[in-house]
Amino acid sequence: MLTRIESPIRYRLVRIGMLVTLFASFAANVAAQRDVSSEAFKESAQLRKREQRVANDIDEYVDRLDKTERALTRLRRTDGDALRKRYQSFSEELKKLEEAETRTIADIDKMKAAGLDSFSSWEKANASITDATLREAAASRRFRMMTRHIELAQTIDRIGLELQPLMSSLRDIRAFLGADPSPASIRTAEERIRDCEVTAKALRSRIAEVQRMFDRLLMETPG
């Protein structure tokens, strides 16, 4: 008699246990999906913050490059007592340019690292999407943004390679004129100074391309 009564009870208990297990599994999956999505959103916001910082750095670098070039041109066109003052102005502007360069390079590296974290989190978030159409659209969007970042990084790297000879020449001019900022020294360095002026103008045009790329990227990056 007890066995016949206990059987349905055990059956109901087993079913309740199965339902509890299924519900716990479902809740865990929902929580995991929520955590993955939250992490992707956080990493995306951090990436956008890094992008904006680098964009600001590049704007400042272009401004410093322009001021350094103008100081160099004034130096080339000056003689007499004003020459030492012009040299000092050029030297100060170049120092500020070097500082802007250091900040920009450091922030570019941080932006690249943030990009790796963001796209990794984005991939995990996409994998948690059960709807095939939405998952495919999310993957396509991620691929498009990754492509933009790769193109941006490649363009920045190319410009960086072109900037180094210019920065080296500017430092050479500063060192050469530092010991003797005289009209004779200016005449000796004049060809190198003119080369720097031409190169700086060309590079500003190239950097303008990067600035436009950042404008588009900031409009599209979530966060």
- Condensed to tens digits (0 to 9), the pLDDT of residues 22-40 reads 444 444 444 444 455 677 7
Buried b (16+ CB within 10 A) or exposed e, 90-124: bbebbeebeebbebbeebbeebbebbebbbebbeb
Taking alpha carbons only, the member of 102, 80, 68, 79 closest to residue 171 is 68
Find the angle CA(109)-CA(115)-CA(121) to the nearest 5 degrees: 145
First to last CA, the chain: 67
Q: How far apart are CA 162 and CA 147, in angstroms?
A: 23
- Domain ranges in the chain? 2-220
Q: What is the pLDDT of residue 221?
A: 75
Q: Is the dihedral of CA 154, 157, 159, 162 positive or negative?
A: negative
Comparing 6-20, 32-46, 84-98, 168-182, which segment has the lowest mean pLDDT?
6-20
Q: What is the pLDDT of residue 217?
A: 87
* pLDDT tens by residue, 127-172: 888 888 988 998 898 899 899 999 999 999 999 999 999 999 999 9
pLDDT band of residue 11 (cuts 50, 70, 90) is low
Question: Helix-strand-coil percent breakdown of the chain, rounded to 5?
Answer: 95, 0, 5
Write out the two tokens for 132: 């095939």
